[in-house]
Amino acid sequence: MEQTIRTRRVKLIVAVITMLFSGILYAWSITNTPFIQMNGDDIANATQLGLNYTLTIVFFCLGGFAAGLISKEVSTTLRLVLSAVMLFASFFSSSLLIVTLPFTGNYFMLYMAYGMLGGLGIGMAFVTVISSVNAWYPDKRGFSSGVMLMGFGLSLLILGRIIDVMGKSEAIGWRSTYVIIAIAMGVIFLIAAIMIKPPPQGTEFPESKSVDKTDQAVEIKDYTAFEMIKRPSFILIFIYIMILAASGHAAISFAKEIVLDVGATEGIAVTAVGLLGVSNGAGRFVCGWLFDKLGIRHTQFISSAVSIIAPLTVVMAIAAGSLIIGIVGLCLCGFSYGFVPTSNSIFASEFYGPKNFALNFSVLNLILIPAPFAAMLAGTVKTATGGFMLAFVILSALAVVGFFVNLAIRKP
């Protein structure tokens, strides 16, 4: 038993580091710097770069889905090696495009190199690492999911700042920064391929210490992905998590603009974005801790409460023109959004069983594809009304709807 505990701790540490590098997915607002305004048309350039981020998210979801589909036929090691190869190729190819794109204007190559290869590689690693390491923590699924996803969420704050400094440095520059990222991603994911494997059959684990015995009272049935999507609980979870993600995604997309609207300076606005990232990482960990300590049902109520309070706080800040309330509101939105990936992991394992976790988890992660539409809504409302007030009023109303959807969710 002691050997099992030591082994799984090592694997969790490696997984957190791997997730930290995987979280570069959300750093596009920083890594897109060398591609900004290359063709002299600001609007067209912003649209093209925005599309690249959307494609990266879509391919991230598809990569995770692919990893789930092949999880029983292809080993964890091989899937992570494939991720390492794709990510090295993605960033190395993008480093070449930093030189060629200003002359060719061929954004399609950027979409293929960064969006497709990068998204697929990160998505495949994301599902593979979480499903493999969670298997070592049947007694603490919330804790293991939360810690790994916290690493993913904090990437923007930690790696984002390092990349920004390196890219703007005259000694290094953006092209060399991309090459360094390519090498680092390749090495980290190859190490993960060696270190991260599911537990051997018959491994003994500590008993769960959850105080909510009702979550353990009913034996968990293993559902296939096809059986899962036919369950009413899946439809309700999908709707609820999508609503939960809405205000968080809108806040992340327009955080800087929102705090500038309530009186922040440029420096304070950048700091506020960093605080939102920290809050998002904290939400992932706290959600996992709550699942372990209080059980699924109580955590659902807490997540609903935070999802309603968060956008309402932003509305209050805009109405009062208060910078402090605005920063608090954005942090709450980030915190609430942090509940999304951890909830997906817990619902997949506790509602639909561990046997098909990899595929079921990847299906639930497809929620990320429609999530950016919340940011599009906020942007459209901002253009039409000149502010974000109405957008966050709508998001608050959606959160109230989400509360009642959440009440209806029951174990299948």
Q: Examine residue 316 and state whether it is found in any structural domain, yes or no.
A: yes
Q: Is the pLDDT of residue 290 over 60?
A: yes
Section 378-401 average pLDDT: 83
Q: Single out the residue in 177, 195, 213 at which a domain terminates.
A: 195
Q: How far is the C-alpha of 22 from the C-alpha of 16, rounded, in Å?
A: 10
Question: Which structural domain range is residue 144 located in?
Answer: 2-195
Q: Is the pLDDT of residue 38 over 70?
A: no
Q: Is the pLDDT of residue 254 over 70?
A: yes
Q: Are 345 and 288 contained in the same domain?
A: yes
Q: Are 162 and 248 contained in the same domain?
A: no
pLDDT at 208: 65
Q: Examine residue 213 and state whether it is found in any structural domain, yes or no.
A: no
Ranking 11-20, 21-30, 67-76, 204-213 by mean pLDDT, the lowest is 204-213
Q: Is 173 left (phi over 0), alpha (psi -120 to 50) or beta?
A: left
Q: How far is the C-alpha of 53 from the C-alpha of 252, rounded, in Å?
A: 13
Q: Examine residue 203 and state whether it is found in any structural domain, yes or no.
A: no
Task: Please enumerate, as own/partner, the contacts of 238-242 that have beta carbons within 8 Å and a separation of 24 or more.
Answer: 238/364, 238/367, 239/402, 239/405, 240/402, 240/405, 240/406, 240/409, 241/340, 241/343, 241/344, 241/364, 241/367, 242/367, 242/370, 242/371
How many Å is the Cα radius of gyration of the chain? 21
CATH code at 11? 1.20.1250.20
Section 37-59 average pLDDT: 72
Q: Single out the residue in 178, 195, 212 at which a domain terminates.
A: 195
Q: Are 182 and 228 contained in the same domain?
A: no
With a pLDDT cut of 90, the percent of the chain lying above it is 30
Q: Are 251 and 336 contained in the same domain?
A: yes
Q: Which two tokens stand for residue 39?
A: 């063709």
Q: Which two tokens stand for residue 135?
A: 């298997």
Q: Examine residue 210 and state whether it is found in any structural domain, yes or no.
A: no
pLDDT at 191: 95
Q: Single out the residue in 195, 212, 230 at which a domain terminates.
A: 195
Q: Examine residue 207 and state whether it is found in any structural domain, yes or no.
A: no
Residue 365 · residue 344 · CB < 8 Å: yes
Please, what is the Cα angle at 10 between 7 and 15, to 5 degrees? 125
Section 344-367 average pLDDT: 86
Q: Are 182 and 327 contained in the same domain?
A: no
The single-letter DSSP state of residue 38 is S
Q: Are 186 and 273 contained in the same domain?
A: no
Q: Is the pLDDT of residue 118 over 90?
A: yes
Q: Examine residue 123 and state whether it is found in any structural domain, yes or no.
A: yes
The sign of the CA dihedral 10, 16, 21, 22 is positive
Q: Are 271 and 308 contained in the same domain?
A: yes
Section 179-197 average pLDDT: 95
pLDDT at 95: 92
Please report which confidence band the pLDDT of residue 211 belongs to, taking 50, 70 and 90 as the band edges.
low
pLDDT at 46: 67
Ranking 284-298, 324-338, 367-381 by mean pLDDT, the lowest is 367-381
The single-letter DSSP state of residue 75 is -
Q: Are 18 and 109 contained in the same domain?
A: yes
Q: Examine residue 208 and state whether it is found in any structural domain, yes or no.
A: no
Q: Are 248 and 391 contained in the same domain?
A: yes
Q: Are 146 and 258 contained in the same domain?
A: no
Q: Examine residue 204 and state whether it is found in any structural domain, yes or no.
A: no
Q: How many domains does the chain divide into?
A: 2
Q: Are 230 and 166 contained in the same domain?
A: no
Q: Are 251 and 386 contained in the same domain?
A: yes
Token pair 């791997």: residue: 18
With a pLDDT cut of 70, the percent of the chain lying above it is 92
Give the predicted TM-score (pTM) of the model. Answer: 0.81
Question: Read out DSSP for 184-238?
Answer: HHHHHHHHHHHH--PPPTT---PPP--S-THHHHSPPPPPPHHHHHTSHHHHHHH
